[in-house]
Structures are given as C-alpha cells and as structure tokens.
Amino acid sequence: MAATTRRQTLTAAASATLGAAALTVPGLSSAQNTPSAGRREEPIVVHLRDAASGTMDVFVGTSRVQVRDRALADRLRRAAGRR
C-alpha cells in the first residue's frame, strides 16, 4: 500500500466535501460551468475567509467563487483540527 501524504489527504477531503456542498450551496454550482472546472487534474482550493459567517473563496483552476456556508465552514475547521 502506498503512503499517503498529508497534502493528498487534505486535498481529497476538501474535494469530497466541496463536491457534496456544490449540490446544496447556491452559487457554487456556477463553478461547475466554468471551462476549467471540468478538468479533474486542476486543484480545488478553499480559502476560509471568515469562519463565523461561513464566508469562503473556492478556487478551481483560475476561477474563483465566493460561497457562504456556515455548516461547511464548521466541518472544515473541525477537519483542520484533527491532526
């Protein structure tokens, strides 16, 4: 079994969470309509700007979408606390 790096684990967790959130968060589905969003090789990066309000930026390739989701922000904070 190949060793998994911390970065790979965080990327996979964020991608799975973001994929699930895209179905329920208004505005996030627009990231799927950008030309770069369909490419699986591009990273997805989430920048949690304000955890209290749930404001975050989601970067897919060269596209950015601003999202507000307190529940997702809480899950990301909890996941970041597990080391």
What's the confidence (pLDDT) of residue 50? Answer: 92
For residue 70, give the nearest of 40, 13, 25 by alpha carbon: 25
**pLDDT of residue 70 exceeding 90:** yes
Taking only the tens place, the pLDDT of each residue in 19-67 is: 555 545 555 555 555 555 455 678 888 999 998 999 999 998 888 999 9
Indicate the SS3 state at residue 43: coil
* More confident position, 77 or 39: 77
Taking only the tens place, the pLDDT of each residue in 1-30 is: 566 677 766 666 666 565 555 545 555 555
What's the confidence (pLDDT) of residue 37? Answer: 47
